Amino acid sequence: MSVNYIPAVFEVLRDTDRCIKCRACERQCANEVHYFDEDFDKMQVIEAQCVDCQRCVTICPTSALKIRKNQNEFREGANYPQKLIIENYLQAQTGAVLLSSMGNPVDLPVYWDKILINASQVTNPSIDPLREPMETKVYLGKKSLDIKRGDDGEIIPDTEYPQLELDVPIMFSAMSYGSISYNAHESLARAATQLGTFYNTGEGGLHKDFYKYGPNTIVQVASGRFGVSKQYLDQGAAIEIKMGQGAKPGIGGHLPGKKVNADVSQTRMIPMGTDAISPAPHHDIYSIEDLRQLIFSLKEATEYKKPVMVKIAAVHNVAAIASGIARSGADILVLDGFRGGTGAAPTRIRDNVGIPIELALAAVDQRLRDEHIRNEVSVVVAGSVRSSADCVKAFALGADACYIGTAALLAIGCHLCRSCHGAKCNWGIATQRADLVRRLNPDFAYKRLVNLVHAWDHEIKEMMGGMGINSIESLKGNRLMLRGVGLNDRELEILGIKHAGE
């Protein structure tokens, strides 16, 4: 047997004085890191299997456990960091594409953190959401400015195009049943319903049990067409065509076969245990005019009652693509940045393909305005919106609403160990193993999602109030409310904002 070159990524530290050998860690770890060694009468670990999901640390009744980065170090070198060396060992061993999950963790600029928000002083009063009305309701959809009047001269309030009404400007982004669990989906659906917003089925179809949440559901149609039927389309409040995903621009979805159990198989309409690999393109879309046909096919199928959204990954030419989509009948455009999450993606693609959402959003919003078609389409941003401050910055750059995925999963217990593709999520989120899924209780989880969004909504209102803005419409595209710090002229120009101090 050859030597295993691959060291453990983490160290599991156990305080043996505290450990009472209750073996809870052993029972709770789906990665089988912990085991009880009867010969020595103590708990042992197989560190190489640890993903640092923090489950054992969290549930340990005596706080005996800590996980930290493996302190063992390869010889340092800036060109070949340890991570890269290990990845090459791994590929030499398996001959396979590297897989990863969740958003791109690479140390590339996060523009949100280089943008600061304004507040009023003296010339314009700041307003306090606890004392004054403050509004964050949003309507998404194409807006026609053609006023129609009846014979009595009164305006006929017909928007012409279907609209989505959001009580809060935040939605839950596409995460398929399959990539995440039944209980996770139920939590998202119930939270969206209570919040008056929407969650998104992702590309895995919609479990029949969740049809009742249809008015708060966006149903996705992706290149694999998993679970797509007339009945499915009819359930949703809107239909989203997934052309691309920020985490893996240029390729289709990946669902490892070990996540395809009986229920998932039925919902997706695929055999049990098979990998569900969506094609890179839609096989009926090889150009923009084909997209138009799919948009209108879906509109025909649902009698023009539902907005059709088109989601694309933020890539280099995003502004021109967005403009093409706006002219192709889409009601809502979704931009997904290169830091967006995923249940499984090739590592090299996740970490190297696509562009930051902040720049993509700024470029798209400006292009649509330059071409006088900003009103023709709403713009929703995703990947990655991490806090209410990111939301405020996104709105001021021009977004109509934000999608959150990773933040929503954090709310229900995700610890961002980025191992979803392993299908052994100890938090019951990114797994289909019944014993693990049971750990996620939707009755509690949905409330945590509601709490998170309520908290963000209130923070958005406070920041708006500070700027003297009492409704979100007045924040949208209001770039004067932003300033950059530490950005060069080119970056400022693309973002369409001034530097702090100007």
Partner 1 sequence: MQKKEGEIRIPSGCAITGFISRNGNRISGGDAIKSIEVMHDRSNGLGGGFAGYGIYPEYKDQYAFHIFYESSEAKDYTEKYLDRHFDIINLSKIPTKQVKEITKEPLIWRYFVNPLPTRVAASQLDEEEYVAQCVLKINKDHKDSFVFSSGKNMGVFKAVGFPEDVGRFYRLDEYAGYSWTVHGRYPTNTPGWWGGAHPFALLDYSIVHNGEISSYDANRRFIEMFGYQCTLQTDTEVITYIIDFLNRKKKLTLSEIAEVIAAPFWTTIERREPKECERLKYLRNVFAGMLITGPFSIILGYKGGLMALNDRLKLRSMVVGEKDDMFYIASEECAIRAICKDAEDIRAPRGGEAVIAELNEEGRRKCL
475 binds partner 1 (CB under 8 A): yes
Quote the least distance from Cβ 124 to partner 1, whole Å: 4
* Residues in CB range of 205: below 8 A, 6 or more apart: 176, 177, 226, 227, 228, 232, 267, 268, 269
If binding is defined by CB under 8 A, does position 467 make contact with partner 1?
yes
**Beta strand 308-313 with 238-242: parallel, antiparallel or unpaired?**
parallel
Interface stretch with partner 1, choices 19-27, 135-143, 178-186, 434-442 (CB under 8 A): 135-143
Give the list of residues 6+ apart from residue 332 with CB closer than 8 angstroms, or none: 140, 141, 164, 238, 307, 308, 309, 310, 377, 378, 379, 380, 400
Is there binding between residue 127 and partner 1 (CB under 8 A)? yes
State yes or no: cis peptide before 63, omega within 30 of 0. no
- 124 lines the binding site for partner 1 (CB under 8 A): yes
123 binds partner 1 (CB under 8 A): yes
- Residue 1 binds partner 1, judged by CB under 8 A: no
Write each residue from 354 to 383 as x if it is in contact with partner 1 (CB under 8 A), else as -, in one continuous string.
---------------x--x-xx--------
- Distance in Å, CB of 356 to partner 1, minimum: 21
Among 15, 32, 132, 435, binds partner 1 (CB under 8 A): 132
Stretch that binds partner 1, among 86-94, 151-159, 228-236, 254-262 (CB under 8 A): 151-159
3-state secondary structure of 112: helix
Instruction: Please select the residue that binds partner 1; options are 117, 478, 499, 500, rule is CB under 8 A.
Output: 478
| Contact (CB, 8 A) for 244 and 263 | no
Comparing CA positions, the residue from 70, 74, 64 lying closest to residue 50 is 70
Q: Which secondary-structure segment (H or E) carries 166?
A: strand 164-166
Q: Is 151 exposed, middle or buried (0-12, 13-18, 19+ CB in 10 A)?
A: exposed
Query: What is residue 211's DSSP assignment?
Result: G
Judged by CB under 8 A, which of 479, 483, 484, 495 binds partner 1? Answer: 479
Tell me if 128 contacts partner 1 by CB under 8 A.
no
Interacting residues with partner 1 between 251 and 270 (CB under 8 A):
none
The Cα 273–Cα 258 span in angstroms is 6
Cβ of residue 314: shortest distance to partner 1, in angstroms?
21
Least Cβ distance, residue 147 to partner 1 (angstroms): 6
Q: Is 130 in the site for partner 1 (CB under 8 A)?
A: no
Q: How far is it, in rounded angstroms, from Cα 264 to Cα 274?
A: 11
Determine, following the binding rule CB under 8 A, whether residue 461 of this chain makes contact with partner 1.
Answer: no
End-to-end CA distance of the chain: 66
Q: How far is the CB of 111 from partner 1 (least distance, A)?
A: 19
Q: How far is the CB of 495 from partner 1 (least distance, A)?
A: 13
CA distance 345 to 353: 11
Which residues sit at the interface with partner 1, rule CB under 8 A? 120, 123-125, 127, 132-133, 135, 137, 139, 143-145, 147, 154-155, 157-159, 163, 369, 372, 374-375, 398, 467-471, 473-481
